[in-house]
């Protein structure tokens, strides 16, 4: 069971700490690039983004993007979905031009990243 199935991404200190613990546990036992570890890292990014901690969220989203782009390819739906989340965070940071370069038209809502 994935932590994302239990809690909806929201920002509070307890949720963030629980997500980080989950990621550390999965990373230690499954490896940093395992699908479940990446899902846990993505959830951390979502929680941070919901809490308006966009700079921190951007780092987590980029980590997931870089790993998935190598493992799955640049055209994989999961990779494209993470890329679109990066665009959303960049836009929230007031970096619209950068966001436009990351955005993937037609991808939003096509796949749930887990």
111 found inside a domain: no
How many structural domains are present in the chain? 1
- What is the model's pTM? 0.83
Confidence of residue 103 (pLDDT cuts 50, 70, 90): confident
Could you read off the pLDDT of 5-41 as tens digits, one per residue?
A: 445 555 677 889 999 999 999 999 999 999 999 999 9
27 found inside a domain: yes
Least confident of 32-41, 62-71, 85-94, 97-106: 97-106
Rg for the chain (alpha carbons), in Å?
Answer: 13
DSSP string, the chain: --HHHHS-----HHHHHHHHHHHHHHHHHH-TTSHHHHHHHHHHHHHHHHTT-HHHHHHHHHHHHHHHHHHT-TTSHHHHHHHHHHHHHHHHTT-HHHHHHH--TT-TTS----
d(CA 5, CA 38): 15
79 found inside a domain: yes
4 found inside a domain: no
1 found inside a domain: no
55 found inside a domain: yes
Query: Which residue range is the domain that position 20 belongs to?
Result: 9-102
Q: Are 47 and 71 in contact (CB under 8 A)?
A: no
Could you read off the pLDDT of 63-78 as tens digits, one per residue?
A: 999 999 999 999 999 9
CATH number at residue 76: 1.25.40.10
């Amino acid at each position: 069971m994935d932590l994302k199935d239990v809690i909806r991404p929201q920002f509070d200190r307890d949720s963030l700490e629980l997500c980080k613990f989950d990621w550390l546990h999965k990373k230690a036992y499954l490896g940093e690039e395992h699908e479940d570890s990446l899902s846990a890292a993505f959830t951390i990014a979502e929680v941070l983004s919901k809490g308006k901690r966009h700079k921190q969220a951007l780092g987590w989203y980029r980590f997931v993007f870089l790993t998935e782009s190598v493992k799955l390819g640049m055209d994989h739906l999961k990779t494209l979905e993470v890329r679109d989340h990066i665009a959303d965070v960049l836009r929230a940071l007031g970096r619209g031009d950068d966001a436009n370069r990351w955005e993937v038209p037609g991808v939003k809502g096509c796949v749930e990243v887990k």
